[in-house]
């Protein structure tokens, strides 16, 4: 991974091209070890470069910025061998999530909105029923406090060879009391942050959306969001967004919902479907301050 100086440069999800390059450069989880299917039967691969946690047979929780990982492969795959594959019927991002990688210099409100609500729910077309190779993550209680400083969380990601199903890695990370300003002007508020004391342990490229679980209880406490490989990692706190998560777990495709080949955006008051040709990181009209909404694909078969 290239260690950037700005937080926006180190989003842990990558485009398909960047993901392909990253597999030849470094591990995904830094300083970790092989993860057991028995310990993380709910862990899934999301699209081309993200992870997620299966909550029930048709629901995955992941990071909102992982919509980019679904642009070319709108499917979820379990880590078992053989893995189960299910098309993603819909992606529902938190209503307060706003992604913008340009124009936020000096704008803390936009900065916090980009990273303070980085959570999304995926609904699957084909159920992944619990069984020998599939299980569901444990959600925290509604009144769960923020994890205590110096407690330990376990982050899970796709390891050195993400194209090889089942090669999943885990790493134990100490919880920090406060989040550092990782190259930006402000620390991310309301995030769970981990540090490694210079031991070069962290989540890294391709680990976005994956779980951070409490070492002692196995409860899902965070969703991998951003950070610097080998240094610090920020996680979206699950307990803080539990109401959104539980509401959208029961979501059903509304009558007349649009079907988009790539991603549905809201730009002002107009909903649009962007194509891959329309989507450019450096184009403020197609990217800056756009807000993903509920996205419905309607696929029926993997490809």
Q: Say which residue the tokens 């159920």 belong to.
A: 127
303 catalytic per annotation: no
Whether 112 and 189 have beta carbons less than 8 Å apart is answered as yes
Strand, coil or helix: what is 234? strand
- Could you give the CA distance from residue 108 to residue 106 in angstroms, rounded to a whole number? 6
Residues 6+ positions from 303 with CB-CB distance below 8 Å: none
Strand partners, 170: 33, 156
Whether 186 and 115 have beta carbons less than 8 Å apart is answered as no
Count of helix runs (H) and strand runs (E) in the chain: 3, 17
Task: Check 86, 202, 208, 234 and give the catalytic one.
Answer: 208
Strand, coil or helix: what is 66? helix
Which DSSP state fits 140?
A: P
Task: Check 30, 53, 65, 202 and give the catalytic one.
Answer: 65
Task: Check 30, 53, 90, 118 and give the catalytic one.
Answer: 118
Neighbours of 17 (CB within 10 A): 11
| C-alpha 38, offset from chain centre | 22
Whether 25 and 182 have beta carbons less than 8 Å apart is answered as no
- Residues listed for the chain: 303
208 catalytic per annotation: yes
For residue 191, which of 137, 139, 115 has the smallest C-alpha distance?
115
118 catalytic per annotation: yes
* Angle (CA) 10 146 251, round 5°: 75
Question: Catalytic residues, which ones?
Answer: 65, 118, 208
């Amino acid at each position: 991974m290239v260690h950037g100086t700005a937080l926006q440069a180190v989003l842990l999800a990558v485009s398909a091209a960047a993901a392909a390059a990253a597999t030849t450069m470094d591990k995904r989880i830094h300083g970790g070890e092989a993860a057991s299917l028995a310990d993380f039967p709910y862990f899934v691969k999301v699209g081309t470069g993200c992870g997620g946690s299966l909550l029930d047979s048709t629901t995955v929780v992941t990071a909102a910025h992982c919509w980019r990982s679904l642009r070319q492969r709108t499917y979820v795959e379990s880590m078992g061998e053989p893995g189960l594959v299910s098309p993603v019927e819909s992606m529902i991002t938190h209503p307060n999530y706003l992604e913008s990688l340009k124009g936020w210099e000096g704008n803390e409100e936009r900065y916090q909105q980009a990273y303070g609500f980085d959570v999304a729910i995926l609904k699957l077309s084909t159920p992944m029923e619990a069984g020998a190779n599939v299980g569901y993550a444990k959600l925290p209680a509604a009144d769960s406090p923020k994890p205590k400083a110096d407690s330990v969380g376990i982050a899970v990601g796709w390891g050195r060879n993400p194209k090889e199903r089942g090669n999943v890695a885990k790493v134990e990370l100490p919880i920090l009391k406060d989040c550092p300003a990782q190259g930006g002007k402000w620390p991310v508020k309301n995030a769970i942050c981990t540090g490694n004391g210079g031991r070069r342990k962290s989540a890294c490229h391709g680990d976005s959306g994956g779980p951070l679980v409490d070492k002692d209880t196995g409860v899902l406490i965070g969703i991998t969001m951003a950070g610097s490989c080998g240094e610090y990692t920020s996680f979206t706190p699950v307990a803080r967004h539990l109401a959104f998560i539980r509401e959208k777990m029961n979501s059903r495709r509304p009558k007349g919902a649009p079907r988009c080949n790539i991603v549905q955006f809201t730009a002002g008051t107009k909903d649009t479907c962007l194509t891959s040709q329309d989507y450019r990181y450096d184009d403020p009209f197609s990217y800056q301050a756009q807000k993903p909404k509920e996205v419905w694909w309607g696929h029926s078969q993997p490809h």
